[in-house]
Amino acid sequence: MSEALISLRGVGKSFTRGSTSVTALRDIDLDVAQGQVYAVIGYSGAGKSTLVRLINGLEQPTSGAVLVEGKDLTSLSAKEIRQVRSRIGMVFQQFNLFGSRTVFANIAYPLQLAGWSKEQQQKRVAELLTFVGLTDKAWAYPEELSGGQKQRIGIARALATNPPILLADEATSALDPDTTQDVLRLLRRVNEELGVTIVVITHEMDVVRSLADHVAVLDDGRLVESGPVREILAQPKAATTRRFLDATLRTRPGDGELARLRETYDGVLVTVAVPDQHTIGGLLTDVVRDHDVSFEIVHGGYTTIKDESIGTFTIALQGDSTAVERAVEALSGAATVEVAA
Ligand SMILES: Nc1ncnc2c1ncn2[C@@H]1O[C@H](COP(=O)(O)OP(=O)(O)OP(=O)(O)O)[C@@H](O)[C@H]1O
């Protein structure tokens, strides 16, 4: 049995409509370990919703296997799939609250379905309302709440029966930037304080940056890149990932910016990603001291990822070609380095 809480093994999914077939996912391998916040990012049509429906057992893959807590969903009965689904809390973009029920009744609903007693329900709903900071809204109706408050209630309801996994499908896409940050902070607490493993589906790199520790990038049904967020942000390999980053992080020069820098500055353009705020100065000082080169910082800055920051600086490195090569080698020993072609 794999150690991952969720595993996709060579998963493909096609839909057939009449004589045409659409392939939504191709040969996806993905492992989400217990305790992780794993983001799946992709543009519209990349296959994100299909992936969610496969993980929560609403659809079966055309090929490959989906495992949740070691159970292969492709080999389970409908009843067994329902049991697996009860281990996954769902949070939706449009909140999906019952408008005719109070906040209390919305959160109590899954408890009622699971057969909890009235007293147990009351105790659990009170705990959840405290956790999401909305004890004063127990008797309000969803229409009386702001979008952010609705999503807090959506999260409380998803957590009601203590599922070990939370699947958040574009959970902040309907919210403004400030409210988005509040909800992302709440999701982090869900992960850190309650130990819930979270899979976040999003089209926003900012969500990945503030919340996730791992990320997979989907493009046209393919998983084009995956790994720790810090590594992918520091050195994205796939063109799709770079597009996402160029749109959100101003610290990495895009192709147009690199062309402009090349016209403006002499020397070799080198982009250096450093792991924290205290590294770049010392690193560049050492390189200039040890090698016969000079430099100018021409682009870059710091970006916050969860509570840490990484710096990405583009420098124009000047000197003879051997010295520049050695300097790049020295930088590569201490940081992630990309030399512009
Ligand atoms: N039930 C279906 N029948 C036919 N085609 C489908 C079905 N569900 C999804 N698709 C197709 O599969 C591809 C991926 O769709 P999916 O909804 O998973 O993408 P997405 O990344 O979630 O996009 P969005 O962000 O726009 O929701 C699209 O080409 C879509 O048209």
Residue 274 has pLDDT above 90, yes or no: no
Ligand 1 centroid–CA 15 distance in Å is: 9
Of 205 and 336, the one with more pLDDT: 205
Share of the chain above pLDDT 90, in %: 73
Cβ-contact 287, 293 below 8 angstroms:
yes
Ligand 1, atom 16, lies closest to the CA of 47
pTM confidence score: 0.83
What digits encode the pLDDT tens for the residues 189-229? 999 999 999 999 999 988 998 899 999 999 999 999 999 99
What is the rounded CA–CA span in Å between residue 194 and residue 265? 51
The CB of 22 under 6 Å from ligand 1? The reply is yes
Cβ-contact 74, 60 below 8 angstroms:
yes
Q: How many CA atoms lie within 13 A of 265 on its CB side?
A: 22
The CB of 311 under 6 Å from ligand 1? The reply is no
Domain 4-245 top-level CATH class: alpha beta
Residue of 8, 13, 22 with the most ligand 1 atoms within 8 Å of its CB, for mutation: 22
Model ipTM value: 0.94
Start-end of H helices in the chain: 48-55, 78-85, 103-113, 118-132, 147-159, 177-194, 205-211, 229-234, 239-248, 255-264, 280-290, 321-334
Ligand 1 atom nearest the C-alpha of 53 is 18
- Identify the architecture of domain 250-339 in CATH: 2-Layer Sandwich (3.30)
In the chain, CATH 3.30.70.260 sits at 250-339
What digits encode the pLDDT tens for the residues 257-272? 888 999 999 999 998 8
In the chain, CATH 3.40.50.300 sits at 4-245
Selection from 40, 52, 91 nearest residue 229 by Cα: 40
- The residue count of the chain comes to 341
